[in-house]
Amino acid sequence: MTGTIRLRPGTLPPALLLPFPHPGTGPAQSRPIPREGLVLGRGEAVFDQPFGDPAMSPRHAEVRFQGAHAVVHDLGSAAGTRLNGVPVRESHTLAEGDVLRLGDTMFVYTSTEPPPAADEPRSATEPELTGATASIEAVRRSIAAVAPHPRTVVVTGETGTGKEIVARLLHRHSGRSGPFVAVNCGGFTEGLLASELFGHVRGAFTGAVAEQQGLFRAARGGTLLLDEASDIPLAFQPTLLRVLETWQVRPVGSSRDVPVDVRVVAASNRELVSLVQQGLFRADLYARLAQWNIRLPPLRDRREDIPALSRALLAQLGAEGRALTPDLEEALLVHPWPLNVRGLSNVLSIAVIATPAGQPLALGPEVLAALEDNRIERSVLPPAAPPVELDRARLEELLRRFGGRVAELARHVGVSRPKLYRLLWSAELDPACFRRR
Ligand SMILES: Nc1ncnc2c1ncn2[C@@H]1O[C@H](COP(=O)(O)OP(=O)(O)OP(=O)(O)O)[C@@H](O)[C@H]1O
């Protein structure tokens, strides 16, 4: 079953418990956690539907507040209560994004607003941004706001967070009739990138046996995605800046400029603004590219989207509606996902291959190995977010500006929501006091 439980607004940071939805269950529900606590168990009427989990004890565990913190307490259940994959002895404080397992039912403890009641209609042919957390909703709103405007957009986020999907959605909602063209800027020398983007005339260099129009012209009337924009060679950046200012390209070996009408989106795993600070990316090009910024949150900061993403990815893998064992659900929910949604997709595809047809997808040795592989990669990934200076005065100013909306503020400053909550608590600032009525 699905459901969310929220705190009464205005008292403490809002909190949700989100059970892992199973195929065929209804939309998510929400209700406040009362101050006096909430008992979760097979015999408790927490949502419209009962939990329907025989592994849950009638009164399994309780969540209640001690000061500013929610605390989970096992009520002597038969199967035990687990927090982030580890059994809870007596009681334990809950933190943002924590995963609780009561019997075979999973919950995510989070502070985002409840997801909308129903999923948006999906396109059969185009990739969609699956997810209902406030951070993904804000990304959708951001796409809808900027898509029709001829603005250059920078999309940042760790690898596999969906930057290319965002670029495709920007194109789809732009009303532009030309094509969507993507180029990975990594690994090109200055000269090769010029020829790739602007084209070349016949004989421009050894091997240029025929004229090439280049990707700017290929994307005419449409959208050009400059992927891995952080890898654009520094020496080439002034040339690209000139093109973005004049909307004219000069093919390599030609003396004539050709006008182009293209919407440019730049995507990067690394925060371009921090590269500018380190002198690794030109400030003038960054300013020209970042007429609008979209930041994608890492998957581990929106664990409550993992169930919906798993269902969407399974459908893409031809395993629509396939059930998961509780052990696999728990493993997917607690994993740190350094490769984000791409990593989740890989692990699910291994589970589909490794599990015999007709059985729920299980946490077998192949899946465990795939999860382990995913964990190791994290250490070799480039850092994503720049360090930020957030003292009390700055936090207060930002809370006022964002009307107490923590998810939006976190995105703006480029820190995770849990980290922002910790900063707010240590600065003794309550976002609820800044919400506009
Ligand atoms: N929110 C999402 N909903 C559904 N699928 C997603 C989502 N985010 C990512 N994916 C899937 O994960 C994979 C990686 O996504 P995408 O290529 O857009 O990531 P990226 O951020 O551009 O990665 P990279 O930086 O490595 O190029 C794709 O198969 C994509 O369909």
Ligand 1 pocket (Cβ < 6 Å) reads 127, 129-131, 157, 159-165, 227, 267, 269, 309, 312, 341-342, 345
Distance between CA atoms of residues 2 and 84, nearest Å? 19
If one counts every other C-beta atom within 10 angstroms of the C-beta of residue 173, the result is 14
Mean pLDDT of 170-189: 93
Give me ligand 1 centre to Cα 128, in Å: 10
Which of 133, 155, 158, 165 to mutate to test ligand 1, by most ligand atoms within 8 A of the CB atom? Answer: 165
Q: By mean pLDDT, which of 20-34, 227-241, 309-323 is the weakest?
A: 20-34
Of the pLDDT bands very low, low, confident and very high (cuts 50, 70, 90), residue 176 is very high
CA distance 165 to 128: 7
Give the pLDDT confidence score for residue 24 in this predicted structure.
43
* Statement: residue 351 has pLDDT above 80: yes
Highest-pLDDT range among 35-44, 260-269, 371-380: 260-269
Domains of the chain, by residue range, sit at: 1-118, 134-295, 392-434
**Higher pLDDT residue, 424 or 278?**
278
Residue with tokens 């893409």: 316
Atom of ligand 1 nearest to the CA of 344: 12
Residues forming a β-bridge with 266:
154, 226
Please name the residues in contact with 142: beta carbons below 8 A apart, sequence gap of 6 or more.
292, 294
**Paired sense of beta strands 223-227 and 180-184, if any:** parallel
- Give the ipTM: 0.97
Query: Nearest residue CA, atom 8 of ligand 1?
Result: 162
How many angstroms does the Cα of residue 182 sit away from the middle of ligand 1?
14
Which residue has tokens 């997810």? 131
- pLDDT value at residue 1: 36
197 pLDDT band (50/70/90 cuts)?
A: very high
Report the predicted TM-score, pTM, of the whole model to 2 decimal places: 0.79
Query: What are residue 378's phi and psi, to 5 degrees?
Result: -55, -40
Q: Which CATH number fits domain 1-118: 3.10.20.30, 3.40.190.170, 3.30.465.10, 2.60.200.20?
A: 2.60.200.20
- Nearest-angstrom CA–CA distance, 189 and 34: 61
| Fold topology of 134-295 | Rossmann fold (3.40.50)
Express each pLDDT in 4-29 by its tens digit.
Answer: 444 333 333 334 555 554 444 444 55
Cα 257 to middle of ligand 1, angstroms: 36
pLDDT surpassing 80 at residue 53:
yes
Average pLDDT, rounded, for the chain: 83
